[in-house]
Chains A and B, each alone.
Chain A
Amino acid sequence: MGIRKIDLELCNGCGACVEACPLDVLRIDKATTKPFIKYLRDCQSCLLCEINCPLQAIFVSPDYERRIPMPIYY
């Protein structure tokens, strides 16, 4: 599932998660100035968004978001 939840009640819109994400999964909604998950399939469950969030508003679960062929399963 990768990044699963951004708690917008807790979130103060600081943008640290959007700044940190290596794979550009997150973007800021201009109207609310809060982040949203834009490219979920690219999430790699690295947790950087979550650990960079000062308010513990993000939850990441380490599930694969894409199908990736695994060498010995052939």
Chain B
Amino acid sequence: MEAQALDNVVDTDILVIGGGIGGHTFAITAKEKAPALKVTVVEKARAGKTGPSALVGGRYDGFLPERDDFDLYFRSRVEEADYLCDQEKIEDNLRWAGDVFRSLERWGAKFARTGEGDYQRPLSRGTTRGMLLENGGVPLMNALNNYAGSIGVQFLNRIMVTDLLSNEEGVVGAVGFGVRDGDFYVFRSKVTVLATGMTRFKTIQPGHRNDTGDGYAMAYRAGAEVAGFDSTHHNTYGARMEFGPGNNLYVGLGAFFLNVKGERFMHKYHPELAERADFVWLAPSFCIERMEHRAPPIYLDMRHFTPDKIETLWKAVPYAMMKYERAGVLKNNKFVELIEYTPEGPRPMPSGVLTNRNYESRNLPGLFAVGDVTSQKGGGGLSAAAISGVIAGAFAAEKASGNSRVRIDGKQVEAHKQACLAPLKRDDGMEPDHIILALQEAIHPYYVGIIRHERRLTKALEEVAQIRDSLVPLLHAYDFHYLMSANEVRSMVLCAEMFLRSALERKESRLGCLREDYRELDNVNWLRYIHLKRDNGKMKVWSEEVPVEKYKLKPKREKCLHPFWKRVEELGYSTLVEE
């Protein structure tokens, strides 16, 4: 059975799933390389206006080749990743950074400049400097969206893609439904790219709640190899109000974190960077304060900010500033109150589809993954998403020009359709919201996601399995909007299982996987990625060596107490969660 007879069939040479910065730079590059190709972006919200790319904290993690020290940036990225990274992709990222930055400007992006006309390069998190977007991500994404439209990229908004289509040759399209009208769509494409971002399990922090790991889930269900779910990063955000974004900037400008006694503490945990320490250091420090009964609450303190700093914030994160004003935290351009803060729930990172240097899936031809949905992208945030989109877009355009028309399996379409529409067809059942809360309650406690132990990870996995087996089959959608939520729940439950199974596999502490029961950073046995794949309907977990021997930088092949645990021990603080 061909799909034609079934539903709305959209034929396109290149299908881009997700309209954030990675989806845009991919689509623009492919279209500019091969203008005759049809390039279609499908987005469940509104491409270019919404999603994390539009709601960023204003920092563009940019390396400027004519000014910055290549070796310094390269080394800092490798070391920040505890060597759990693809050094070839880091090299590609840095080599392409200048060109992509200039392309972004050509496409209409505006970066803040100093009075002398130079780029502003404020201090931020970590050791390297970036650029600053003028007025944040909203104008950036507007510009990219307008530019893409002007060269003929097509956009289909408010359609949630739920599954990939494949045949023996690889991935050949996807299916989805309109979240406002319920229409079912079949996309047939020569090349398909996931640009769906990551997942944060609908935790705090405005901006990320469109990213529910749908790309991870559909890649996994289609049989793609995925990696990196053992590591999670936890940003820190307002515990009482929906504040933000802007964390990297706040700490770059000198914001403090205070514990319940009103004392700064981050300089103890990380004497060099203090509040500017990376999230994999910051969030665990909050947890140790909690274990030492000096939190919650933890506060963000910006009361000492001078007018020039306030002005920088108004330029880079204007909407965050409006919210501070509304909450009475910012009065007459001065922060007058402390802001209660907490780490967010787990966010697997760097995780996603295992891809080669062109960002094509390692085992599913025709499937690309760019931005936050790819497991290794050579950098972080906006710039890595933009650069991976450009690298992959050029390659994909070539590939799509060569490929011939693809055939779709009608039975597969029907099976995917039944699975995604099931919550709507059920007469009665559970609200997606209830299951989201149950999932968060299983994985959000700090002693599950941040300070980990086999016992607690196993218990959380049992809870998630229970949700998967008993609650997900009861998912009920009142309408198409709730059908989107129900399908997001399907993705998130799968992602939670990926995270917990991968975290259990790593028997050491590294990057965003801090184990109370395995405190060593073990470069003898564990310089390994954790991989996952669907195998006979089951989640197969295995590990593979990071090929450091062929890389520029090699760590010493030795075991040592993980530097975070070492520091906590030196401070004489507790390293055990009270159970």
Contact surface of A with B, Cβ cutoff 8 Å: 2, 19-24, 27, 38-39, 41-42, 44-48, 51-52, 61-64, 66-74
Contacts and interface: CB of A to CB of B under 8 A. Distances in A.
A47 B287 contact: no
Contacts of A72: 286-287, 289-290, 295-296, 298, 342-343, 446
7 contacts: A46-B206, A48-B54, A61-B326, A71-B344, A71-B449, A72-B286, A73-B296
A71 B234 contact: yes
Contact of B210 (A20, A23, A70): A23
Contacts of A63: 241-242
B440 A22 contact: no
B243 interface: yes
Nearest to B449: A71
B548 interface: no
5 residue pairs, one from A and one from B, having the closest CB atoms:
A22-B50, A45-B242, A74-B445, A62-B323, A71-B446
Given A23-B210, A48-B49, A70 B444 contact: yes
Given A24-B45, A44-B207, A70 B342 contact: yes
B343 A71 contact: yes
A48 B50 contact: yes
Given A22-B46, A64-B241, A71 B319 contact: no
A1 to B, nearest CB: 10
Interface residues of B, number: 55
Contact of A69 (B209, B238, B444): B444
B204 interface: yes
A74 B449 CA distance: 12
B175 interface: no
A28 B298 CA distance: 41
- How would you classify the secondary structure of chain A's contact residues: helix, strand, loop or mixed? loop
Contacts of B286: 72
Contact of A46 (B207, B345, B484): B207
B287 A71 contact: yes
B282 interface: no
A62 B287 contact: no
Contacts of A73: 239, 296, 342
A49 B320 CA distance: 14
Given A2-B242, A41-B433, A44-B242, A71 B444 contact: yes
Contacts of B323: 45, 47, 62
Given A44-B207, A46-B207, A46-B319, A24 B295 contact: no
B203 interface: yes
B440 A69 contact: yes
A46 B322 CA distance: 11
A61 B319 CA distance: 11
B218 to A, nearest CB: 20
A20 B327 CA distance: 24
B335 interface: no
B319 A20 contact: no
